[in-house]
Amino acid sequence: MKLIRTRSEPAATELTMGPRHTWKLLVVDDEPDIRELTRFNLRGFRFADRDLEILEASSAYEAREILNQHPDIAVALVDVVMETDDAGLRLVEYIRKDLKNLMVRLIIRTGQPGLAPERHVIDHYDIDDYKDKTELTAGRLYTTVRAALKSYRDLRTIDLNRIGLAQVLEAAPDIYRITNRSLDQFFQGVLTQIVGLCNLTDSSFISTMGGVIATFDAQDITVQASSGDLAAQDRFAQIRAQCSETILTGQAPEGLRKGAYVVPLLVQRKPVGFIYIEPTHDLNEADRHLITVVAQQCSSALENLRLHIDLAQSYDHMIDMLATIAEFKDHTTGSHIRRIDSYTRLVALELGSSEDEAVLFGKASRLHDVGKIGISDAVLCKPGKLDAAEFAIIKTHTHMGGTILAHDHFLALAREVALHHHERWDGKGYPDGRPSREFQLVTRIVTVVDVFDALVSRRPYKEPWAPHDAAQEIKNGAGTQFDPTIVTAFMKLFQDGRFDAIIESAQHESALPEISG
């Protein structure tokens, strides 16, 4: 893995845009001559390849407005005596305590030291330097501002590193149970560290191609992390195309900013993405090594995500396979299984479950009747009412389902649903006769929606009920057969029409001619 640097000649856009980043200096003084002299003495000032942008305020009140508009001010030269004898000192307190801005370097500059004695000001106010205006010659002003900017830059580097490390550490526990959310946080933390450690610009980003798998499609790029608003700029399309071509060919890109770097992300030696960075200065060997190590960590995270996706897909395929077996066994319950999935997700969301948890509940619900594959067709498809012996056979489908799903810990939730979805709130259900409050939320949800869908659907032994009659039956069972909280959520969704499409599916299926034999 290597860094690929852009060619040394500047791109056309570089020549026309002018300086992209500046150090902001705020001069707060009620004397126009002092402000003008400060601007004159700092003309042509540059530090770390950045120009100086000077902002002026004639009062502490005006300075507050500017500080609110420019939170990235690096240094402020503050006069003490302005609209009041301590206006400058009150401004310092406002910056540190109200704005909670601990980064900006504050330099007190006074022409009346008797009103603000140096030792008192240094001891009682969070400032970085104290200067008498008479001692700030052009040379001393240059030195003072340069030292303050260096201090600001170093503090920002430390702070960015702290923020980035905190994001990485927060995301790290999730890497082994990785989700897109934790991966986004991981990438953002990594990028923040790169920006801080290498003093990069705010136009760096990490991208991945083709949904993070080992295929490369330049038309499908997902930005996993960004700093600044580069991804929203017009030139992002050019950068995307250039970086894609670069990591495929290994050739230095043309048309990007002078000195930019492209670092390929590799999974099993195949390019799956890149880190693009725009340093404010040429990177030394230590910086380049750091970014290479970071790129390797990003690649490992991508590989973990790919393995996670493969595992999740295998789980989904297993669920679908078992559900399909149940459909082949009993064609009257095939669509029922899919409807139960939909009902379960909607009720779970209404009860406050997250989207991911609702999806998991839906998948588990699909296997609630998988045990029916062990029930004979003569009993399962009997057109009339079951006698006591036949009903006893039907009830064994819960144990059969639990046994089938007991061989894989990934199916533990589905196993509970299959085994206990016929338990009741009052403890009079089967197979164990335990109160359903003892079981997980998804099991209690399936208990409700399974009955409702069975009522509104045609069965060999009955005609479909009208939806409102079926809903009333569910409501009547609250507190005895069903968890009353779930019934309340179910009824709200029913009355709001959230189930209409699912119910229509059941009614359409019931209207079709029966398939014999």
Sequence-distant (≥ 6) Cβ neighbours of residue 193 within 8 angstroms:
160, 161, 164, 165, 168, 294
Sequence-distant (≥ 6) Cβ neighbours of residue 300 within 8 angstroms:
none
Asked if residue 230 lies in contact with residue 212, where contact means CB atoms within 8 angstroms, the answer is: no
| CA separation, residue 73 to residues 118, 168, 348, 393, 424 (Å) | 24, 27, 48, 78, 65
Cα four-point dihedral sign 432, 436, 438, 443 = positive
Element (H, E) at 427: none
Reduced to 3 states, what is the DSSP secondary structure of residue 3?
coil
As annotated, the active-site residues are 372
Pairing of strands 4-5, 261-267: antiparallel
Element (H, E) at 499: none
Q: Compute the half-sphere exposure of residue 370: CA atoms within 13 Å on the CB side of its CA.
A: 28
Strands laid side by side in the 221-226 sheet:
4-5, 261-267, 270-277, 205-209, 221-226
Element (H, E) at 501: helix 500-511
